[in-house]
Structure 1
Amino acid sequence: MRCLQHQVKVRPSIRKQRAAFKRVKMRARQRDSRCFPYNVAEFVPIFLEEDEALEEAIQRSLLEESDRQSEVHISRSFKKLSKEEIEGLLRAHSEKVITPGTRQLHISRANVWSTALRQFKRPKFAESCEMLYVTFASDEHDTEEDAADLGGPRREFFRLLVKAIFQDSGAFEATPNGCTLKFNILHLQNGVYRTIGRMLSTIIVQGGEAPAFLSPHVVDYIVSGDILQVHLTPDNIGDPELRENLKKVVNATTQHDLEEAVSCCDSWRYQVEGLPLTVTMANKDLFVKNAALYLAVLQRQSCFDQLTDGLSYYGILSLLRENPSLRVLLDLSGEDKDLTASLIAGVLRPSYSVLGSNRRVREELMVVKFREFLQCVENKELRDSLGERTLTKDEEAFVKALRPGHILAFATGSSKVPAIGFQPAPKITLIHDESKHLPIAHTHVQMSVSFL
């Protein structure tokens, strides 16, 4: 690997610093100590040679200048957009890039990753920009389900696909900050990372849940296209042992502790040219930054490039780079993203009978009960509201695990509101039929939820 600092041209300020340092050294040697009472060595850590200190000063100056440029780049290009603005941008882009017609997609719920990968890799499939028409195969009878896809099955497929991409594909590994790319030589040779990029683009453009599970440093690389604009910490490293060893370097408070921490990195650090050979308290930040860059990005940059190339599908890459605020579509956020009962109630609006009719009274009462149910689910009070009713073990587990997002997924196929919004908007249709005792979700045909 080429020396990291040799990839950056030495700027005039650095040249001046080097020249000034050398002049001071020469004068110090030429003058008598009575005329110049300070020894140059007093400005150098006692455990460093002068040339090492010079190189360290240059490296530290480069690090500070790189950080300043990164801050300027981000502050100039990043304009935060509201949810409404993001939705508007995505809808306009979707209308522009999706062509008329549909592409048939047959998916097995039991094998979402393998069945989706097989079809997304087909060249003709990848060349098309039509809307997906998803049909699920029945696991029990190996037949197609009797359902037309007007939004619900497609959204359900996207929800299952996001999970499959980050858990089943073998292309990602977890970090404390989100998912990062895992180097897989077969995936690289077979273009799987590029295919995943196409999948993510399709999910975003065609109204799926935002696949916001990526570590911020991955999104930094995608949005900027510049490895020097990637902000990194040890928490961006996937391998737990490497991550913890580098954290020990960060947390070292004495030179002795630092030397012990650095020794844990000896198995790989000498392979990275450009890292300081002697790590000190003064240059440890530089060591950590460049080591994290090597471990988190440079080792798997070809995978990053394939994924980025795949995101050019449907023009998503250009859209992200023109509007960096859209990175929220990919970036794992530390915020609690659980849906609220009021949000679900706002999405699932009832379709009432005429005001003043006998049916209207019963419908309003049922809507009140439904919203009370949502509040009980959100507040985890559903079991209490059931009173002394005896539940099976499975029912007890279901009631305990139930969240508002599950209600939305039942009604729409999506457990979150898509960034592009719901098209068409879901609704509650109240059916007056005494023979029906359970809610029914018609996500396939008319995007309605029926309640007694």
Structure 2
Amino acid sequence: MLYVTFASDENTTEDAEDLGGPRREFFRLLVKAIFQESGAFEESPNGFIPRLNVSHVQNRVYRTIGQMMSTIIVQGGECPALLSSVVLDYLLTGRMFDIRVSPEDVADVELRDSLKTIDQATTDDDLQRAIESCESWRYQIEGLPNPVTMDNKDAFVKNAIIFHVLLQRKSCYDQLAEGLECYELLPLLKENLPLRVLLEMPKVRSDLTADVVATLLKPSYSVLGSNKRPKEELMVVKFRDFLNSVQEREVEECLHGRTLTEAEKTFLRNLNPGHILAFVTGSSRVPAVGFQPSPKLSFVHNENKYLPVAHTCSNELEIFVNSKNLADNDEFEYNFLVALMNGANFSAV
């Protein structure tokens, strides 16, 4: 098991035992680094595909990335479900030419548009004009149909896609598959094909909803009959209203009486319910293995503290109950915004 602590600018570490929160924070940042910062992938409309990087192949970076993905999934991180279905089809079957492909699997915009134009050609004249845009590369690929006609254009498009997306990058895929053998993840996926959703970009991307976050964060109330209980229930109402405002992009409207900084306005434009879950647990989505321990919403009755506090080790959001946060104004919403922004990288989804 990987155990994580984060160092601060003062060369100190977080004063907490890693019970899962810091690990999830690290894994979420690692997924971002893999797909956006490593130079190992490029994005097509259907998801990410390996980018042919000679240095990465030479240094076996794709194998390491496969090991990272396996570790993220098995050890409770946010699933790296960003790979194109074509990538998963090849990794799980090892077959290239039996895979269903489309121009949308191609990351390069110019190449994708050329292949789409050929695919959609309805006359010989349209087809020949479309083929002209492929002159710079098509003669370098042995075995493509030549000349291209209305009868063989589908084979031309399919084989060109397979070459550019799969065959040309086979060394990347082979290393990635080797890395995914870590924890025996790849054999597990081959035996249980529905589990491919752990790595595959969903056809319809659905954001985490306010209702899901509210359901995950179970309130830890004082006992019924306690004088504290009604105030805590009111704080839950305010918290869930804030969640809904985040989902509907209405937080800035709720704070219309304040003069917000440009940084605050920018943060609000990108704010979504996943930020709140990441702030509390280190993960902006529910991991494949769930959360341990279960997330909860707790209350501290204190008149001198106002900003919500997250304990990612215990998956706990701590809200301060006092007259200022209970007031019928925007104080609670603004305090929550400040807390999220001060979460730095760990609340940035």
TM-score scaled by structure 2? 0.88
Whole-Å separation in 2 of the counterparts to 1:379 and 1:244: 35
Per the alignment, residue 175 of structure 2 pairs with 306
Of the three residues 32, 48, 61, the one matched with 1:192 is 61
Percent identity at matched positions?
Answer: 58
How far apart, CA to CA, are the structure 2 residues paired with 1:228 and 1:251? 21
Contact 2:97/2:162 (8 A) holds in 1:
no
**What pairs with 1:123-202 in structure 2 (closer than 5 Å)?**
131-138=1-8, 140-202=9-71
1:297 is matched with 166
Cα distance, 1:387 vs structure 2? 4.4
Cα distance in 2 for partners of 1:291, 1:284 equals 10
Equivalence map 1:101-112=2 (5 Å): none
Equivalent in the alignment of 2:298: 429
CA distance in 1, matches of 2:265, 2:66: 40
Rate the CA distance shift 1:386–1:288 in 2: closer, same or farther, 3 A.
same
> Which of 231, 243, 255 lines up with 2:112 in the alignment?
243
Which sits farther off after the overlay, 393-402 or 156-165? 393-402
Q: Distance in 1 between matches of 2:252 and 2:166?
A: 48
Deviations 1:236-265 (A, max 9, x none): 122222222222211222112212222322
Equivalent residues in 2 for 1:406-425 (5 A)?
A: 406-425=275-294
Quote the Cα distance in structure 1 between the aligned partners of 2:290 and 2:241.
25
Instruction: Answer yes or no: is 1:350 the counterpart of 2:224.
Output: no
How far residue 191 of structure 1 moved from its aligned partner, in angstroms, is 0.8
Secondary structure of the corresponding residue to residue 137 of structure 1: coil
In structure 2, the gaps of 5 or more residues are 321-349
Provide the rounded CA distance (Å) in 2 between the counterparts of 1:142 and 1:255: 68
Q: 1:268 to 1:425 in 2, by over 3 A?
A: same
1:220 aligns with 2:89: yes
Cα deviation, 1:98-130, whole Å, max 9, x if unaligned, reads: xxxxxxxxxxxxxxxxxxxxxxxxxxxxxxxxx
User: For the structure 1 residues 401 and 227, does the alpha-carbon distance in structure 2 shift closer, same or farther, using more than 3 Å as the test?
Assistant: same
Compute the RMSD of aligned alpha carbons.
1.4
CA contact (8 A) 1:220 1:229 kept: no
Alpha-carbon distance in structure 2 between the residues aligned to 1:292 and 1:400: 37
* SS across alignment from 2:301: coil
Give 1:420 shift: 1.7
Provide the rounded CA distance (Å) in 1 between the counterparts of 2:282 and 2:14: 15
5 Å-filtered alignment, 1:244-393, equals 244-393=113-262
Q: 1:400 to 1:260 in 2, by over 3 A?
A: closer
Report the Cα offset of residue 137 of structure 1.
2.0
Amino acid at match of 1:295: H
Separation in 2, partners of 1:204, 1:450 = 28
CA distance in 2 between counterparts of 1:238 and 1:415 reads 26
1:416 to partner: Cα distance: 0.9
Aligned AA (1:423): Q
Which residue pairs with 1:46 in the alignment?
none
In the alignment, which residue of structure 2 is the partner of 1:103?
A: none
| Shift in Å, 1:330 | 1.1
Structure 1 ranges of 4+ moved more than 3 A: none
| Gaps in structure 1 of 5+ consecutive residues | 1-130
2:328 is the alignment partner of 1:443: no
Could you report, residue by residue, the CA deviation over 1:136-162 in whole angstroms, capped at 9, with x for unpaired residues?
A: 122x22332323211111101111100
SS in 2 for 1:358: coil
TM-score by length of 1: 0.69
2:74 aligned residue (205, 208, 211): 205
Counterparts of 1:253 and 1:304, CA distance in 2: 35
Question: 1:170: how far off?
Answer: 0.9
> Which has the greater radius of gyration?
1
CA distance in 2, matches of 1:145, 1:229: 51
Determine the C-alpha separation between the residues in 1 that align with 2:253 and 2:171: 54
| Deviation string, structure 1 residues 329-349 (Cα, Å, up to 9, x no partner) | 111123232111111011011
Change (3 A) 1:395 1:268: closer
